[in-house]
């Protein structure tokens, strides 16, 4: 921020005709290449004006004088604008635009002052046409200089021992990557070919590197050019494209590298350091999410926002994304103090645990929850606290009831009492046609949210989605630990499938859902295509480089072969966002919570199942086809 303020202040002083010491040093101590650029432009002005005058029968001396004046004006304007201070790369689009602007201003000044016209005996035609000739010459010389530099760089790169690579993707990402490789003398990669499935790019060359075909030609091009690495340079590519290209490259015996998704790039600029190994997130959950930033900012900016379960995988990512919208206060609640330590460190770069916005509390304790809400009086609540491990909840059903149902009711009641305007209950795909304690308890939580929503002001919604990649206790970390231990990897069933999404993607849509949801709805996030768990395990085994067994353990009690996102009878209506479905949820009266039977674990489970189905769905008799509005 301080550097930005200094740059603005420096620019304002220049406009006032003043110079800071730093700016003065930039003017007087130009790099040799920039000085040569200034001199070359000055010479071109003089030559263009002189030739123009001579060719049209005007005085050659007058043309030279006019060219000299134009050169001085160009030098002053170029130094002030940064044209001769290295602000833009040689012959880049930005430099050409700046150069055009400078030449245009010089031309207008010449015409206005009539320095290049009647006063010197030079016609107006010369004072207009000659600058155009000078401009073309300046751009041409810059282009030739850059082309020569790039050819020399390629020869120098080829002379070094560098790994030849094929770049898949000849769009903006691939172009930036090829340039970065060729211009970075320490690069370990040398791009020798591009591949792209777009037939319109088959004759394209990027810095001399040609497009040699589509992915179908990958094995032939790799063999011809002796390449062992392919880099997927499409930051906007989804997981399906990444999987397809990576599988094809692996089948060809090539190692695969990838660029991160667009949202992870700094200012959308690709650099050599962005190239990395392919991760499970690239293969399973990578999608570009188009969010309505204005709608989100309207309900988060300047508001007091409270997140329960703030130390968990979803809760902590929610906190990081919410913080970008500048809430007046971000209250992070969790019963795990170590988790709060970690989320404060990720947000603030420190973890002194000395601020009141870090709240240690258990949502099972209704009095404590009411106390927290009374102190902070949040405007917006994201409720992410929950017990989520399905097999454990099958054994300890009452614990799931206490946290996922009674705890949620405590948070809902406190939110209603303190006037919360936006409430987002984080649910799960297991609440759709539930078959487990986790699903029953989260379904009841959705129904409780619907009941409170109809009796409170503002938009109160639930958000339903599937497995989050890399979350604590989830499948991928467990598989990695089994691979590190030498195996075996345990898979429930060879045909079992699950939906996957990264925490970043899920939280983007959760926050968006808070802006577009209507009172009492469940908003269902589009998770893409389900993935076979066995395929994930096989990929991890292939990457391990050593034989690892895969053992099938069978589905556990309460588990489904294939997860559902929308229950039978629920309509898939997408009225506000293409990746968010709006589903009506029947209300569940809090007074019905007293019907829960916890005398035994089986009774608790059966009681929860009956309560979750006590209110029938409005159209259960027929499964509706998806509707996109």
- pLDDT tens digits, 588-606: 899 888 888 888 888 988 9
Residue 464 to residue 543: CA distance in whole angstroms:
32
Q: Which residue has the higher pLDDT, 486 or 54?
A: 486
Using DSSP bridges, classify how beta strands 209-210 and 205-206 pair: parallel, antiparallel or unpaired: antiparallel
pLDDT over 50 (residue 24): no
Percent of the chain with pLDDT over 70: 86
Residue 619 to residue 233: CA distance in whole angstroms:
46
pLDDT over 90 (residue 316): yes
pLDDT over 60 (residue 521): yes
Give the pLDDT confidence score for residue 7 in this predicted structure: 39
Give the pLDDT confidence score for residue 329 in this predicted structure: 96
Averaged pLDDT, 101-125: 68
How far lies 124's CA from each of 119, 127, 335, 474, in Å? 11, 5, 80, 76
Phi and psi, residue 406, nearest 5° = -65, -40
The tokens of 294 are what?
């204005």
Give the pLDDT confidence score for residue 117 in this predicted structure: 47
pLDDT over 50 (residue 6): no
Give the pLDDT confidence score for residue 188 in this predicted structure: 85
Averaged pLDDT, 498-520: 86
Q: Which of 316, 415, 320, 314 is nearest to 363 (CA)?
A: 415
Q: Give me the chain's average pLDDT, please.
A: 82
Give the pLDDT confidence score for residue 153 in this predicted structure: 62
- Max mean pLDDT range (181-190, 272-281, 440-449): 440-449
> Sorting pLDDT into bands at 50, 70 and 90, what band is 273?
confident
pTM: 0.69
Q: Which residue has the higher pLDDT, 66 or 214?
A: 214
> Sorting pLDDT into bands at 50, 70 and 90, what band is 160?
low
pLDDT over 70 (residue 202): yes
pLDDT over 50 (residue 50): yes
* Active-site residue (options: 2, 388, 402, 430): 430
Q: Which of 267, 379, 284 is nearest to 325 (CA)?
A: 379
Percent of the chain with pLDDT over 90: 35
Residue 539 to residue 537: CA distance in whole angstroms:
5
Contact at 8 Å (CB) between 422 and 299? Answer: yes
Residue 462 to residue 514: CA distance in whole angstroms:
9
Q: Which residue has the higher pLDDT, 137 or 7?
A: 137
The tokens of 620 are what?
């259960």
2 is catalytic: no
Residue 242 to residue 531: CA distance in whole angstroms:
14
Question: Could you tell me how far CA 546 lies from the centroid of its own chain?
Answer: 34
Model confidence pLDDT, tens digit, residues 280-289:
777 776 565 6
Give the pLDDT confidence score for residue 624 in this predicted structure: 31
Model confidence pLDDT, tens digit, residues 386-431:
999 999 999 999 999 999 999 999 999 999 999 999 999 999 999 9
Q: Which residue has the higher pLDDT, 40 or 382?
A: 382
Model confidence pLDDT, tens digit, residues 317-361:
999 999 999 999 999 999 999 999 999 999 988 888 889 999 999
Contact at 8 Å (CB) between 464 and 565? Answer: yes
Residues 317, 322, 326, 327, CA torsion sign: negative
How many Cβ atoms from other residues are within 10 Å of residue 618's Cβ?
Answer: 12
Averaged pLDDT, 602-612: 89
Give the pLDDT confidence score for residue 625 in this predicted structure: 32
């Amino acid at each position: 921020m301080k550097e930005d303020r200094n740059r603005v202040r420096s620019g304002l002083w220049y406009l006032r005709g003043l110079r800071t010491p730093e700016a003065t040093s930039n003017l007087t101590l130009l790099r040799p290449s920039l000085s040569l650029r200034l001199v070359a432009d000055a010479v071109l002005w003089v030559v263009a004006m002189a030739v123009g005058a001579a060719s049209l029968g005007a005085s050659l001396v007058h043309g030279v004088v006019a060219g000299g004046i134009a050169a001085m004006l160009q030098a002053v304007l170029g130094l002030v604008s940064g044209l001769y201070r290295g602000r833009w790369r040689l012959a880049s689009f930005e430099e050409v635009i700046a150069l055009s602007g400078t030449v245009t201003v010089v031309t207008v000044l010449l015409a206005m002052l009539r320095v290049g016209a009647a006063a010197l005996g030079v016609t107006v035609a010369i004072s207009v046409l000659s600058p155009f000739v000078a401009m073309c010459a300046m751009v041409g010389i810059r282009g030739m200089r850059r082309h020569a530099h790039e050819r020399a760089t390629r020869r120098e790169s080829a002379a070094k021992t560098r790994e030849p690579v094929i770049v898949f993707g000849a769009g903006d990402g691939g172009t930036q990557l090829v340039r970065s490789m060729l211009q970075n003398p320490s690069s370990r990669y040398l791009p020798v070919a591009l591949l792209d499935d777009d037939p319109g790019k088959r004759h394209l060359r990027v810095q001399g590197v040609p497009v040699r075909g589509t992915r179908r030609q990958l094995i032939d091009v790799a063999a011809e050019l002796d390449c062992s690495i392919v880099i997927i340079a499409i930051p906007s590519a989804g997981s399906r494209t990444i999987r397809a290209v990576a599988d094809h490259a692996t089948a060809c015996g090539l190692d695969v590298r990838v660029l991160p998704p667009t949202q992870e790039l700094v200012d959308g600029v690709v650099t050599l350091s962005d190239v990395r190994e392919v991760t499970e997130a690239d293969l399973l959950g990578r999608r570009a999410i188009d969010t309505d930033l204005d709608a989100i900012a309207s309900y988060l900016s300047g508001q007091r926002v409270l997140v329960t379960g703030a130390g968990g995988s979803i809760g902590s990512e929610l906190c990081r994304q919410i913080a970008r919208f500048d809430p007046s206060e971000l209250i992070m609640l969790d019963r795990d103090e170590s988790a709060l330590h970690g989320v404060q460190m990720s947000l603030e770069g420190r973890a002194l645990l000395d601020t009141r916005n870090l709240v240690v509390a258990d949502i099972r304790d209704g009095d404590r929850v009411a106390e927290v809400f009374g102190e902070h009086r949040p405007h917006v609540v994201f409720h992410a606290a929950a017990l989520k491990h399905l097999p454990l909840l099958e054994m300890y059903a009452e614990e799931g009831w206490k946290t996922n149902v009674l705890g949620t009711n405590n948070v809902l009641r406190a939110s209603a009492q303190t006037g919360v305007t936006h409430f987002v209950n984080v649910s799960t795909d297991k609440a759709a046609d539930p078959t487990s304690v986790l699903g029953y308890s989260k379904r009841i939580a959705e129904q409780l949210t619907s009941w409170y929503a109809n009796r409170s002001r503002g938009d109160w919604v639930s958000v339903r989605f599937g497995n989050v990649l890399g979350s604590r206790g989830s499948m991928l970390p467990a598989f990695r630990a089994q691979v590190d231990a030498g195996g075996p990897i345990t898979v429930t069933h060879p045909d079992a499938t699950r939906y996957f999404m990264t925490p970043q993607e899920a939280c983007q849509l959760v926050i968006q859902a808070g802006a577009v949801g209507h009172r009492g709805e469940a908003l269902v996030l589009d998770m893409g295509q389900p993935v076979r768990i066995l395929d994930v395990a096989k990929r991890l085994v292939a990457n391990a480089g050593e034989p690892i067994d895969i053992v099938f353990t069978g589905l556990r009690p309460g588990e489904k072969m294939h997860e559902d996102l929308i229950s039978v009878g629920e309509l898939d209506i997408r009225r506000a966002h293409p990746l968010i479905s709006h589903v009506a949820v029947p209300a569940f009266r809090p007074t019905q919570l007293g019907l829960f039977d916890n005398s035994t674990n089986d009774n608790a489970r059966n009681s929860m199942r009956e309560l979750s189905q006590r209110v029938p769905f409005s159209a259960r008799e027929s499964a509706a086809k998806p509707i996109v509005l």
